[in-house]
C-alpha cells in the first residue's frame, strides 16, 4: 500500500480546514498550550569570524553546556551557495508526487536514506506534520546517488558545492569544541570517526497546516549525531527546551543553527548537552530546513573520553557502537 505523504494530507486538510485526528497532539505537547510567549532568553548567536580564538572557544563551550544549541553568523559559507541549496530542495518537494516517490526509502531498507514521512516508532499512533528526504553527502564512499534527486537538474551540483563549504565549518566547530573541553584541537574529530565522519543531509518539508495550534512538525527529540549544522528557510518554527519551557529560536537571516547531538554529550561525559528541540508548523506557509548530521561511522564505539573521567567524574554513559545506539533510539529502547 502506498504511504500517505503529509504534503498530500495537507492539501486536502486545507479544503476542510481541519486535520486528521492522528496529527492532534496531546495537551502536554500542543504548541498553543506549551510555548513560552514573550520569553526573553535566546539561544546565543556567535560571530564565527572572531579572530580571538580563546574568546570563540569560551562562547561556544558555554552555549554548548547551557543550551546545547547556538547560531553562528559570519561562518564563511557564501549566501549564494545556501540560496542555491534551498532553491533546489524546494523545487524537488514541489515536483509531482509520483516523481518524488521515485526516491522513496524502500520499506525494507536498513538505511535511513530516501524520501519518507516517518522516522521514529510513533507514540500512540501520533503523526508528525512533515515529510523528509535523507541522503549522505560525505565521504564519497557513503554516497548513494540513487537518493539524490535528478530533478531539478542542478540538484547534484549545488549539494556538492554546499558539502564542500559545510565541511570546514564542521571541522572548525569540532576543533573549538575540543579546545573547550581542554583537549587538543583534533581530538573530538578523531573520536567521531576522523576522515570517516559522515555528513548526512536531511531536508524537512513542513506543509501549511490548518491547525498549527494542535500539530507539531518534528516532535521533541535530541539529535543522535555528534553535531548538527542546520539551514532553515525564513519561516519561524524551531523551538528549544530549557528550564522546563519551550522557546522559539529566532530566525536570523544567513545564520547556521548548531545543535549538540547525543554523541557529543556522551563523549564529553555530559559537559555538553544534547539539546531537546521540536518544530511547530504554520497555517499558510511552508517551512523547510536542511540539517546536516555529522555522524560517526556505524561500527565506531562511542563512550565518555577517558581523559574526561576520573573518580570525581565517573562515566555517565555506556560505550556502544553508533549503529546500536541508533537502533535503540529509533525503536525507543533504553540506552
Residues that bind ligand OGA (CB under 6 A): 202, 204, 218, 223, 230, 232, 238, 277, 279, 289, 291
Min dist. Cβ of residue 286 to ligand OGA (A): 12
The C-alpha atoms of residue 226 and residue 305 are separated, in whole angstroms, by 14
- Residue 140 burial (10 A CB sphere; 0-12, 13-18, 19+): exposed
The SS3 assignment for 201 reads strand
Contact window for Ni ion (CB under 5 A) among 60-68, 193-201, 221-229, 267-275: 221-229
Say whether 277 is catalytic.
yes
The C-alpha atoms of residue 102 and residue 114 are separated, in whole angstroms, by 9
Tell me if 223 contacts Ni ion by CB under 5 A: yes
Residue sitting closest to Ni ion (CB): 223
Catalytic one among 198, 259, 271, 277? 277
| Residues in Cβ contact with 207 at an 8 Å cutoff, skipping those fewer than 6 apart | 6, 7, 10, 11, 129, 131, 281, 286
Min dist. Cβ of residue 218 to Ni ion (A): 6
Q: Catalogue the E-assigned strands of 10-162.
A: 45-47, 69-73, 114-116, 131-138
When the beta carbons of 103 and 241 are compared against ligand OGA, the nearer one is 241
Stretch (H or E) spanning 202: strand 198-206
Min dist. Cβ of residue 317 to ligand OGA (A): 21
When the beta carbons of 178 and 263 are compared against ligand OGA, the nearer one is 263
Residue 279 contact partner, candidates Ni ion, ligand OGA, none, CB within 5 to 8 A by sort of partner: ligand OGA
Contact window for Ni ion (CB under 5 A) among 81-89, 182-190, 215-223, 295-303: 215-223
Amino acid at each position: 500500500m502506498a504511504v500517505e505523504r503529509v504534503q498530500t494530507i495537507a492539501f486536502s486538510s486545507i479544503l476542510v480546514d481541519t486535520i486528521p485526528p492522528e496529527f492532534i497532539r496531546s495537551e502536554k505537547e500542543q504548541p498553543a498550550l506549551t510555548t513560552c510567549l514573550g520569553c526573553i532568553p535566546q539561544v546565543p548567536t556567535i560571530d564565527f569570524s572572531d579572530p580571538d580564538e580563546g574568546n570563540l572557544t569560551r562562547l561556544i563551550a558555554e552555549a554548548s553546556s547551557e543550551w546545547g544549541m547556538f547560531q553562528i553568523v559570519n561562518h564563511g559559507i557564501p549566501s549564494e551557495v545556501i540560496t542555491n541549496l534551498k532553491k533546489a530542495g524546494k523545487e524537488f518537494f514541489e515536483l509531482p508526487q509520483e516523481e518524488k516517490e521515485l526516491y522513496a526509502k524502500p520499506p525494507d531498507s536498513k538505511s535511513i536514506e530516501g524520501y519518507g514521512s516517518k522516522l521514529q516508532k510513533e507514540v500512540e499512533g501520533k503523526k508528525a506534520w512533515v515529510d523528509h528526504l535523507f541522503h549522505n553527502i560525505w565521504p564519497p564512499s557513503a554516497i548513494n546517488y540513487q537518493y539524490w534527486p535528478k530533478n531539478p537538474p542542478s540538484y547534484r551540483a549545488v549539494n556538492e558545492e554546499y558539502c564542500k563549504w559545510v565541511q570546514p565549518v564542521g571541522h572548525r566547530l569540532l576543533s573549538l569544541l575540543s579546545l573547550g573541553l581542554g583537549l587538543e584541537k583534533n581530538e573530538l574529530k578523531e573520536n567521531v570517526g576522523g576522515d570517516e565522519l559522515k555528513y548526512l543531509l536531511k531536508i524537512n518539508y513542513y506543509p501549511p497546516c490548518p491547525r498549527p495550534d494542535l500539530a507539531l512538525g518534528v516532535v521533541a527529540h535530541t539529535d543522535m549525531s555528534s553535531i548538527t549544522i542546520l539551514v532553515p528557510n525564513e519561516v519561524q518554527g524551531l523551538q528549544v527546551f530549557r528550564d522546563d519551557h519551550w522557546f522559539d529560536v529566532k530566525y536570523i537571516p544567513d545564520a547556521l543553527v548548531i545543535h549538540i547531538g547525543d554523541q557529543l554529550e556522551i563523549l564529553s561525559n555530559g559537559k555538553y548537552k544534547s539539546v531537546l528541540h521540536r518544530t511547530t508548523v504554520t497555517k499558510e506557509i511552508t517551512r523547510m530546513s536542511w540539517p546536516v548530521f555529522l555522524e560517526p561511522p556505524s561500527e565506531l564505539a562511542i563512550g565518555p573520553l577517558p581523559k574526561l573521567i576520573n573518580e570525581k567524574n565517573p562515566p555517565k554513559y555506556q560505550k556502544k557502537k553508533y549503529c546500536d545506539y541508533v537502533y535503540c533510539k529509533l525503536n525507543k529502547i533504553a540506552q
